[in-house]
Chain A
């Protein structure tokens, strides 16, 4: 009972309780950035002192652990269908959580990390121990521009992670059919795409049909956030079995990062649970932020 009350207080007070220190704040070209710290938890946030808007956090005494659901889901979903990526593209650096984990797990993999906001990259390096390894390159660029330029060089990524969306702002030019087609043109045959997206607004149907139009059938992974897990040319009939097998093999390595891959793989859902008649988002029609502000069905 007392534990419940304590938890309740923690939830209500959020990270803005008395112990929260503000380590750093700056106004970048795109947003306000705050780095806050509780005794053991350091977070990068785009809003302060509200608890919402935390982008990424790490535990100081267990820095390898991923503590946000969506980062756990992104990382494990990525590896369910491609447990040994060689050429990786990450769009949206945030606190560097995903790139740090990937370069530790796959030191031989080539990785391009694209971040629009130079200040976010600086914060990731200064406060979140993001040190790009010898095969990791950070590009300060618009994700869409990067992908468009890269396509000519045929990079053949076998893993693409899209994590450029915040709860309250979507770069609309990066949620269109044309953008996803450009991403697809950068991928190797059978390459895997994972995207951190939205689940509870009117945008859901539109986003779903847009991904479907470009990547064919894919898996949903939902737990507050929604992760889309697909392949360049659609998931294969035996991919669920493949994912389960890989999840079992990854249990140890992901477990060390605080992720239960077995319980996450059980959430993979290949079903179509959206209105297939919804309008596809295109460069001509992309009011994603307005749609995201409207209630879902």
Chain B
């Protein structure tokens, strides 16, 4: 039981790291037609992802105090995926609205990032502290467990960055990549939740 929940915690955290960076790189692509891709735009993108993650860490840590479980961790992952869906469906419309109202590419791209990417990033940020709570058994091993978790989740992020930038963009459309990634998140979150529920 303990080993199984640990395995799911690492898997979900690693995938969540991958997912965040895939979405972050693609967000630059999504915004470029409206606000270009100069340093301002990347500044907005990176700011919102960092800011969202920081809020997520805060909330994930707080939420972990209330009967933490793998099904709830899976639900956080699924929430992050579902919160990305508006980008697929109302993304162009929202970008049009912002483009018509804000002329300065700095604040335009910032507003667009807030609208599309802040919420999914907050949920993604909740994953790591919440997973650490599931993993940690005692004070002695808490630092090691946190280290393993950071390792897995940041390794996921680094792979998500490289694979998206080097290979995926050559093969797939932006929306296809987002849909596949959302599908993987929902599947992993759901499987993790189901398998833990069954063993309980």
Main SS at interface, chain A:
loop
Q: Is the CB of B34 within 8 A of A145?
A: yes
Choose from A148, A149, A282, A291 the contact partner of B173 (Cβ within 8 Å): A282
Choose from A148, A172, A173, A284 the contact partner of B175 (Cβ within 8 Å): A284
Q: Is the CB of B38 within 8 A of A30?
A: yes
Cβ of A179: which chain B residues have Cβ within 8 Å of it? 33
Cβ of A283: which chain B residues have Cβ within 8 Å of it? 29, 32-33, 174
Q: Is the CB of A284 within 8 A of B35?
A: no
Binding site for A on B (CB under 8 A): 29, 32-39, 99, 103, 105, 169-170, 172-176
**Distance, CA A285 to CA B38, complexed state (A):** 19
How distant is B114 from chain A, measured CB to nearest CB, in Å?
A: 19
List 5 extra interface pairs beyond A142-B36, A285-B169, CB under 8 A. Answer: A144-B32, A148-B33, A149-B103, A282-B173, A287-B169
A11 within 8 A of B: no
Q: Is the CB of B174 within 8 A of A284?
A: yes
Q: List 22 A-B contacts (CB under 8 A).
A: A29-B38, A29-B39, A30-B38, A142-B35, A142-B105, A145-B105, A171-B37, A172-B32, A173-B33, A176-B33, A178-B33, A283-B29, A283-B32, A283-B174, A284-B174, A285-B172, A285-B174, A287-B169, A287-B170, A290-B169, A290-B170, A291-B170
Q: Is the CB of A145 within 8 A of B170?
A: no
User: Given that A148-B99, A172-B32 are known contacts, is A142 also in contact with B169, CB under 8 Å in the complex?
Assistant: no
Closest to A282 in B: B173
Cβ of B169: which chain A residues have Cβ within 8 Å of it? 285-287, 290
Closest to B169 in A: A287
Interface 1/0s, chain A 172-183, versus B by CB < 8 A?
110010110000
**Distance, CA A30 to CA B99, complexed state (A):** 23
**Distance, CA A145 to CA B41, complexed state (A):** 13
Number of interface residues of A (CB under 8 A): 22
**Distance, CA A165 to CA B148, complexed state (A):** 45
How distant is A142 from chain B, measured CB to nearest CB, in Å?
A: 3
How distant is B93 from chain A, measured CB to nearest CB, in Å?
A: 14
How distant is A162 from chain B, measured CB to nearest CB, in Å?
A: 16
Closest to A171 in B: B37
Closest to B36 in A: A142
**Distance, CA A287 to CA B38, complexed state (A):** 17
Cβ of B174: which chain A residues have Cβ within 8 Å of it? 283-285
Cβ of B38: which chain A residues have Cβ within 8 Å of it? 29-30, 116, 142
**Distance, CA A139 to CA B73, complexed state (A):** 50
How distant is B87 from chain A, measured CB to nearest CB, in Å?
A: 12
Q: Is the CB of A285 within 8 A of B173?
A: yes
How distant is B69 from chain A, measured CB to nearest CB, in Å?
A: 38
Cβ of A172: which chain B residues have Cβ within 8 Å of it? 32, 37
Closest to B96 in A: A148
User: Given that A148-B99, A284-B175 are known contacts, is A173 also in contact with B170, CB under 8 Å in the complex?
Assistant: no
Cβ of A290: which chain B residues have Cβ within 8 Å of it? 169-170
Instruction: Name the residue among B36, B173, B174 with the largest chain A CB count within 10 angstroms.
Output: B36
**Distance, CA A173 to CA B35, complexed state (A):** 10
Cβ of A178: which chain B residues have Cβ within 8 Å of it? 33
Closest to B37 in A: A173
How distant is B89 from chain A, measured CB to nearest CB, in Å?
A: 14
How distant is B22 from chain A, measured CB to nearest CB, in Å?
A: 15
**Distance, CA A287 to CA B175, complexed state (A):** 14
CB contacts under 8 Å to B, within A22-63, are: 29-30
Choose from B33, B170, B173 the contact partner of A144 (Cβ within 8 Å): B33
How distant is B98 from chain A, measured CB to nearest CB, in Å?
A: 12
**Distance, CA A142 to CA B169, complexed state (A):** 23
